[in-house]
Amino acid sequence: MADTMQFDLVSPERSLVSAQATAVRIPGADGDMTAMPDHAPVVTTLRPGILTVEMDGSEQEFAVMGGFAQVSGSATTVLAEEALPKAELTGEFLDERVAKAEAARDAAEGSAVDAAAKRVADLQALREAL
C-alpha cells in the first residue's frame, strides 16, 4: 500500500492544491467520507462544507460550495463549484450564498424544492460552524 496519493483541488477560478496527500475528508452530498491511498474508485457530489487534506504531517482546510470528487486508488480529484481556504471564509461570503440559495428555494417547484431546501440547510450549517 502506498503512503500517499495525488490530490488536486480545482475551482473554475483557480487550482488551490496539487500535492501528495495521506487522507482527504470530503463533504459528500450523501455523507462525509475519507479518501486514502488505495481507496476503491468512487465518484460523489459535494455539499457545502469543509474539505480537509492531510499532507506533510499537517492539515489544510478548504470551504467548498458544491461540485464533484473522484477517488481512485492513486489519486483524488475535487472539482468544486467554488472553493477557498477556510481562513478566507467570511460570514459575509456565506450570507451571500445563503441568500441566493433561499431565493432559489423560494422559486423552486416540484421535486426541486427538496434539493434547494437541503442546500440552504447545508450552507446555514457551514455558517454556524464558522
The Cα–Cα gap between 99 and 123 comes to 10
* Residue range 54-74: mean pLDDT, rounded: 94
Alpha-helix runs per DSSP H in 8-130: 91-107, 112-129
What pLDDT shows up at residue 53? 98
- pTM score of the predicted model: 0.90
What pLDDT shows up at residue 56? 87
Contact (Cβ atoms closer than 8 angstroms) between residue 43 and residue 26: no
pLDDT confidence band for 8 (50 / 70 / 90): very high
Contact (Cβ atoms closer than 8 angstroms) between residue 7 and residue 21: yes
Give yes or no for residue 18 having a pLDDT over 70.
yes
**C-alpha grid cell, residue 96:** 451571500
Give yes or no for residue 1 having a pLDDT over 70.
no
Give yes or no for residue 96 having a pLDDT over 60.
yes
What pLDDT shows up at residue 129? 80
